[in-house]
Amino acid sequence: MRAAEPAMTSTLAQTREDISRAIARMHGAILSSAIDCECRDRVGEALRDLERLERERIERSLLTAAGEQRRRIAALLELLDDFDPKETDTLDDGTMAEAGLLFADIAAAAELGSYLLRQARQVHHSSDVVQEVSNRAAPSE
């Protein structure tokens, strides 16, 4: 479980960076070209919309992945119901070992869920910053 999850989260982060860089390159190429101002403005707006949509898609993906971790924790907690530390007569080494592994899996899922939510917040707040900059750069009418 642990080996695949960091790969997934680093892939999401890399994808986000790749998208941002690609849109920035397209934006720079269009703005430096010799097209008329009205067309340039429309294309610039379309690129900002594209970036916003991609950020929203990535944020939804991160939130969905965090929700999966929540569901995983709930399922692991159900399995942990069999473990009752008050019933020391029925506790054997195998039961304690299994409970220990369940606790470790819960901790790992919680850690990953927390990381995914932090990433989603970063994406969300970065889109707020982009929107603020766009609003400031927009010409007053």
Q: Measured between alpha carbons, how far is 12 from 18 in angstroms, rounded to an integer? A: 10
Res. 37: pLDDT tops 80:
no
Residue pair 76/106 in contact (Cβ under 8 Å)? The answer is: yes
| Six-digit token string for 76 | 């692991």
Mean pLDDT of the 30-46 span:
72
User: Which pLDDT tens digit goes with each residue over 84-115?
Assistant: 888 877 778 888 899 999 999 999 999 999 99
Quote the CA–CA distance of 91 and 87 in Å, as a whole number: 7
Query: What whole-number distance in Å separates Cα of residue 43 and Cα of residue 100?
Result: 56
What average pLDDT does the structure give for the chain? 79
pLDDT at 137 over 70: no
pLDDT (0 to 100) of residue 48 = 83
Tell me, what's the pLDDT at 65?
95
Q: Span 52-70, mean pLDDT? A: 92
Residue 109, burial from CB neighbour count under 10 angstroms (0-12, 13-18, 19+): buried
The SS3 call for residue 75 is helix
The pTM of the full predicted model, rounded to 2 decimals, is 0.68
Is residue 73 within 8 A of residue 109, CB to CB? The reply is yes
Q: Which of 137, 138, 126 is nearest to 54 (CA)?
A: 126
The token pair that represents 22 in the structure block: 């690609």
Q: What is the pLDDT of residue 18?
A: 74
**Which pair of structure tokens corresponds to residue 4?**
């695949």
